[in-house]
A and B are shown apart, each in its own frame.
Chain A
Amino acid sequence: MTEALLARLQMALSLGFHIVFAAVGVAMPLLMVIAEVRWLRSGDPLDRELARAWAKGTAVLFAVGAVSGTVLSFELGLLFPGFMAETGALIGLPFALEGAAFFLEAIFLGVYLYGWDRVRPAVHALAGAGVAASGAASAVLVTFANAWMQRPVGHALDAEGRLVAVDPAAVFTNAYAAHEIVHLLGAVYMATALAVAGVHAVSLLRAPDDRFHRRAFGLALALAVPATLAQPLIGHWAGQQVARYQPAKLAAAEGQFATERGAGLKLGGIPDYEARETRWALEVPGALSFLATSSFDGEVQGLEDFPRDEWPSPLVHYAWQVMVGIGSALAALAAFAAVHLVRRREWPRSRWFLKAVVAAGPLAFVALEAGWVVTEVGRQPWIAYGLLRTEETVTPMPGLVVPCVTFTLVYVGLAAATVVVLRSIFRTKAPAAAAAGPEPSP
């Protein structure tokens, strides 16, 4: 295992860990504030209980997300100082603004978590809205930086071939950014809301008429279902942008070796990079060309169009299948729930639906991580697409196995401890209005 691979592995683990907590930190405040606003308008103490219970979980997850984010800002330099030296001037602005957004989020969260009795109720709810808005802004801004890595803009090359920052503001008008941002936000709200719904579904399986959990379940689904239905459509847009700007990534994702018109969409399959074919795939004729170019006859570039050392790893194909497979299954579940809501004026109550939602939460996060694998591993061998190779920018420090293993152990330990603490919060909370009785509407 080379030092470069260890650096990539450590960075990937840190990002993969952070994204889960960051996602919750972005989406949960929205749920929290919706519950609190409902309480302010209806006076129903159940909604206040909900806001307070969700706030507790948010506090824990936000803290772990914040410290893991600090790690990332340092790790960019610790692991890839060459990248930072050459591109810092070009990607620094979104990070600076993201810092301000995160600062605001931390301030509003401090008021929200610890100021229930120190500020007026309306101000408190506004603080919650502030957390939700600045959290989303934070996510948007940091994605501009990633979009730059996928499609560098605003730069020029000097006489020695080094990057020069010509137009640092161009990072904000990068055509690649829009789909990444929308797809990420969709994923964040979808996964978090499904996970929250799943947590309450566990309680509903034990006590189907518990009003607190029914309310929570309904509110979470109200966010989860639209997001889950929208994601495949957003994903389709994203796929078209990838076909346009990073055809090698799409080729790897699809296991497409030959450049061809009327390319079929492969479901499953095992790419064989030696034989240059993907075996055991179910192929839908013409569908890939249609999805990528909106024409069944459109041309799709295969890996063979690119130098062998620029082929992304076959891992991209598996991650792609996982993401699309889970996303499609969850969209079907969401469609079922939506139809049920329209026809019966309430969310499904059946045990199988509750169990499906319990599974949906973790699965949605698996899809989220798989999506990141597609876009980041699919970007390799580049750290700045077409400009800088990752291996050229790695720190010269030897023995990277040491920090890699250390941080891995720390993250595994933190994940386990987080689960333990969340479970104890959830167990000891005794909702005030957990009376039996049917809930009239979601």
Chain B
Amino acid sequence: MTAAEAVAGVGVLSLGLYALLGGADFGGGVWDLLARGPRAARQRALIDEAIAPVWEANHVWLILVVVLLFAGFPPAFAAISTALHVPLTLVLLGVVLRGAAWVFRRYGEAGPARDRWGRVFAVASTITPVFLGVALGAVTSGAVRLGEDGAPVGGFFAPWLRPFPFAVGAFVLALFAYLAAVYLAVEAADEPALADDFRRRALAAGLASGGLAWLTVLTAGPGTGRFAEGLLGSAWSWPLQLAVAALAVAALVALWRRRFRLARALAVGQVAGVVLGWGLAMHPHVVPPDLTIASAAAPPATQRGLLVALGAGGAAVFPALYWLLRVFKSGPARGGSSTA
């Protein structure tokens, strides 16, 4: 394994952690938008408490992916940023509005303004993952290619304004909502009725994400050929696919039987498997079909420097992150005193 491949691997790992942590934050916003029934207010409060201490940290994984791209594979970053300018701008607007709205809602004066910020937070949380998925789908389907003049082949809309990227977007949204509901069921362990609300939502989102996964297969065009080969035709494909499917089914069963902590562990395994499978299927491409790990890589000195930086950073960050999650997530969300 070359240094560049190691950096690419860390990038996939980072993307996976983003899905498992930041993705659940987005999913929380989706359930805020869809909160209903006699416990709607309680649902929103639980989501708010769950997100509060961790959302800033959770979203740093995305920044890490961006940094690894532009430092480790600069031409790939340039190609993606050029061709997917529009969906990425929409992602940014969503990220900005979501974070700001959340903090304004929490710390602002009670009243109609608070409800409005809540709406902004919830809507932004729903739209952003869709366009993250769109960008991911566009890259995966080999639609991101720069011509000789540096402009994207097909223009600035064709690479992503297609069924497959949006199917991926919908799938990503459902997956994030699923994760969030599973986590929230654990957080609500003290209140069985509330936990059951999220149990129902998790089951629905889990089944929906399964269906949407099939939709991505159906909408996959010829550009996805190489990716599909990787996903389905490699030596590791069937064991991994089976494992992910088994984890998915087991998670749903655990949910059904109200074994929420087990369901959380299984869902985490399932999503990790999905991201791993994606990464393996993309290999050796960074931006198919033109840019591979080797062809897009920064010089070895930079790759080695990145690994050192990642090692040093990781040695500091992982223990701290573990500590954060232990302080706040080792049990049901208590009403815990906070600054607000």
8 Å CB contacts to A: which residues of B126-157? Answer: 149-151, 156
CA of A330 to CA of B186 in the docked complex: distance in angstroms? 54
**A81 / chain B contacts, CB cutoff of 8 Å:** 77-79, 81-82, 150
- Residue A272 CB within 8 A of the other chain: no
Render B295-326 as a binary contact track against A, CB cut-off 8 A, 1 for contact.
Answer: 00011011001100110111011001101100
Tell which of A85, A165, A406 touches B299, judged by Cβ atoms closer than 8 Å: A165
**A76 / chain B contacts, CB cutoff of 8 Å:** 70
**A168 / chain B contacts, CB cutoff of 8 Å:** 298-299, 301-302, 305
**A55 / chain B contacts, CB cutoff of 8 Å:** 339
User: What are 7 of the A-B contact pairs (CB < 8 Å)?
Assistant: A66-B99, A92-B302, A99-B67, A110-B324, A114-B53, A115-B336, A410-B96
Nearest CB of chain B from residue A274's CB, rounded to whole Å: 35
On A, residues with C-beta under 8 Å from B are 52, 55-56, 59-60, 62-64, 66-71, 73-78, 81-82, 84-93, 95-97, 99-100, 102-104, 106-111, 113-119, 164-169, 395-397, 403, 406-407, 410, 414, 417-418, 420-421, 424-425, 428
Per DSSP, are chain A's interface residues mostly helix, strand or loop, or mixed? helix
Nearest CB of chain B from residue A162's CB, rounded to whole Å: 11
Nearest CB of chain B from residue A141's CB, rounded to whole Å: 10
Nearest CB of chain B from residue A122's CB, rounded to whole Å: 15
- Residue B31 CB within 8 A of the other chain: no
Contacts A89-B302, A107-B57, A114-B339 given; 8 further ones with Cβ under 8 A?
Answer: A56-B339, A59-B339, A70-B95, A71-B96, A84-B74, A96-B306, A111-B327, A421-B104
Q: Which 8 A-B pairs have the closest CB atoms?
A: A92-B71, A100-B313, A77-B81, A88-B74, A89-B298, A85-B78, A63-B103, A67-B99
Q: Decide yes or no: A77 and B77 within 8 Å by CB, A67-B100, A396-B82 being known contacts.
A: yes
- Residue B39 CB within 8 A of the other chain: no
Tell which of A70, A85, A118, A407 touches B74, judged by Cβ atoms closer than 8 Å: A85
Tell which of A87, A100, A395 touches B81, judged by Cβ atoms closer than 8 Å: A395
**Nearest B residue to A118 by beta-carbon distance?**
B327
Is the pair A74, B66 in contact by a Cβ cutoff of 8 Å? yes
Is the pair A396, B339 in contact by a Cβ cutoff of 8 Å? no
**B337 / chain A contacts, CB cutoff of 8 Å:** 116-118
Nearest CB of chain B from residue A216's CB, rounded to whole Å: 16
Is the pair B151, A396 in contact by a Cβ cutoff of 8 Å? yes
Nearest CB of chain B from residue A74's CB, rounded to whole Å: 5
Number of interface residues of B (CB under 8 A): 72
Is the pair A71, B95 in contact by a Cβ cutoff of 8 Å? yes
Is the pair B302, A52 in contact by a Cβ cutoff of 8 Å? no
Most buried by B among A56, A76, A92, A169: A92
**B102 / chain A contacts, CB cutoff of 8 Å:** 63
**B229 / chain A contacts, CB cutoff of 8 Å:** none
CA of A112 to CA of B77 in the docked complex: distance in angstroms? 35
